[in-house]
């Protein structure tokens, strides 16, 4: 300390002194050592840690749903079910339309058949009358 | 005792109570000293230091190594202490840095008594001189001489350009030398 003071006095005459600079930095380093924390500091920190609100552990479905892979799988399953459902609905609609068309064709055939039957009866009736007249 | 982070290469972190106590006990003096030297007030420094460890507890799973832990503690302590210092400065409606500059200007005219310096040892004087430095210079000086970090490390830690770190260091040292010289003269001449 005394040496540092004397050196400093000399340097004031000469200007910058690297040796003095080094001594000053050394002194600074020694002085600025970390001092002790107040007594019971760690206990007070841990008491605050203990006072922190505890997070209840999540149940497994909630934990699973936070997993991105599970989320992706759920999204894929939903998309697939919507696609498959749409396909079957479309197929059912086509079946109904087909059945409707079949019924219409059958009705048309029945009408045609009935009409032909009438025509045939008429033709047969006319022929019999003609033969009777002859 | 269970160690939360056992060595520099280990990446497993145990946030157990014992492990965390171990971390606090190992680093409390460092964290408290940085906060105290920035703030100059033991009460606020303890508050800030406790907050730093609480923040560490919440982020323990992100800490990957002993080096990372050390660097995290230094950075967060400096930032939190600086914030607390600024909040306090704005509360009392004057800038502490301006106060320090004014204090130093008055010292130059001999208006401020140096009795405290004269009656105490050199170490206490240096502590007092450091506490009168402007905030940015003080933070950089602490990291350089208390934490023994190189200017490049301080630059990375504080996200501050290297040139600015060096400039703060040079200015701080120059101010301290001037003050030390003045103090010695006053001690000699009574």
The SS3 assignment for B159 reads coil
CA distance B111 to chain A (A): 23
Residues comprising chain B, all counted? 190
Does the distance separating the beta carbons of B31 and A37 come in below 8 Å?
A: yes
pLDDT recorded at residue B81: 95
State the nearest Cα–Cα gap between B11 and chain A, in angstroms.
22
Residue B38: predicted pLDDT: 92
Q: Which residue of B has its CA nearest to A50?
A: B17
> Is the ipTM of this structure higher than 0.85?
no
Angle between helices B17-39 and B135-145 (to 10 degrees): 130
pLDDT at B53: 95
Burial class (CB in 10 A: 0-12, 13-18, 19+), B125: buried
Rounded to whole angstroms, how far apart are CA atoms B31 and A45?
13
8 Å CB contact of B33 and A38: no
Within an 8 Å CB–CB cutoff, is residue B28 touching chain A? yes
* Tens of pLDDT, residues B131-178: 889 999 999 999 999 999 999 999 999 999 999 999 999 999 989 888
Q: Is B53 on the interface with A (CB under 8 A)?
A: yes
B contact residues 77-106, partner A, Cβ 8 Å cutoff? none
Give the minimum alpha-carbon distance from B26 to chain A in angstroms, rounded to a whole number. Answer: 10
| 3-state secondary structure at position A80 | helix
A–B interface: beta-carbon pairs under 8 A: 95
Residue B108, both tokens: 């130059």
Chain-chain contact of A24 with B177 (C-beta, under 8 angstroms)? yes
Contact A32/B31, CB-based, under 8 Å? Answer: no
- Is A34 within 8 Å of B142 when comparing Cβ atoms? no
* A80 in contact with chain B, both atoms CB, cutoff 8 A: no
* pLDDT for the residue A16: 61
Contact A35 B181 (CB under 8 A): no
Q: Is the dihedral of CA A35, A38, A42, A48 positive or negative?
A: negative
CB contact under 8 A, A32 and B53: no
Contact B4, B20 (CB under 8 A): yes
Residue ranges of chain A with pLDDT lower than 50? 1-2, 13-14
User: CB-based contact (8 Å) between A41 and chain B?
Assistant: yes
pLDDT for B2: 42
| Residue A41 to residue A121: CA distance in whole angstroms | 118
Composition of chain B by helix, strand, coil, percent to 5: 75, 0, 25
* Residue A6: closest C-alpha in chain B: B184
With beta carbons under 8 A apart, name residues in chain B contacting A17.
Answer: none
pLDDT digits (tens, 9 = 90+) for A79-110: 999 999 999 999 999 999 999 999 999 999 99
Residue B36 and residue B184: Cα distance in Å, rounded?
Answer: 26
| Positions in chain B short of pLDDT 70 | 1-15, 91-124, 189-190
């Amino acid at each position: 300390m005394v040496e540092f003071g004397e050196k400093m006095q000399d340097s004031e005459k000469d200007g910058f002194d690297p040796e003095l600079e080094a001594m000053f930095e050394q002194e600074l380093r020694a002085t600025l050592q970390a001092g002790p924390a107040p007594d019971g500091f760690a206990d007070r920190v841990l008491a605050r840690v203990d006072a922190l609100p505890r997070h209840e552990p999540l149940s497994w479905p909630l934990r699973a749903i936070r997993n991105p892979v599970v989320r992706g799988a759920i999204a894929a399953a939903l998309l697939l079910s919507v696609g498959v459902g749409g396909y079957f609905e479309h197929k059912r609609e086509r079946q109904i339309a087909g059945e409707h068309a079949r019924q219409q064709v059958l009705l048309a055939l029945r009408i045609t058949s009935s009409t032909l039957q009438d025509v045939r009866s008429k033709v047969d009736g006319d022929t019999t009358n003609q033969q009777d007249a002859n | 005792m269970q160690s939360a982070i056992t060595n520099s290469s280990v990446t497993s972190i145990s946030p157990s109570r014992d492990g965390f106590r171990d971390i606090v006990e190992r680093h409390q003096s460092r964290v408290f000293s940085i906060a105290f030297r920035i703030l100059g007030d033991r009460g606020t420094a303890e508050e800030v230091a406790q907050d730093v460890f609480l923040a560490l507890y919440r982020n323990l799973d992100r800490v990957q190594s002993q080096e990372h832990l050390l660097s995290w503690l230094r950075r967060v302590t400096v930032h939190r202490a600086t914030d607390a210092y600024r909040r306090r400065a704005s509360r009392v409606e004057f800038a502490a840095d301006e106060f320090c500059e004014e204090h130093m200007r008055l010292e130059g005219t001999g208006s401020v008594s140096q009795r405290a310096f004269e009656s105490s040892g050199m170490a206490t004087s240096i502590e007092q001189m450091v506490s009168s430095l402007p905030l940015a210079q003080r933070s950089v000086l602490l990291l350089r001489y208390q934490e023994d970090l190189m200017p490049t490390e301080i630059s990375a830690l504080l996200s501050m350009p290297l040139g600015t770190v060096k400039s703060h260091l040079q200015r701080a040292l120059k101010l301290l030398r001037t003050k030390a010289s003045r103090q010695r003269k006053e001690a000699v001449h009574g």
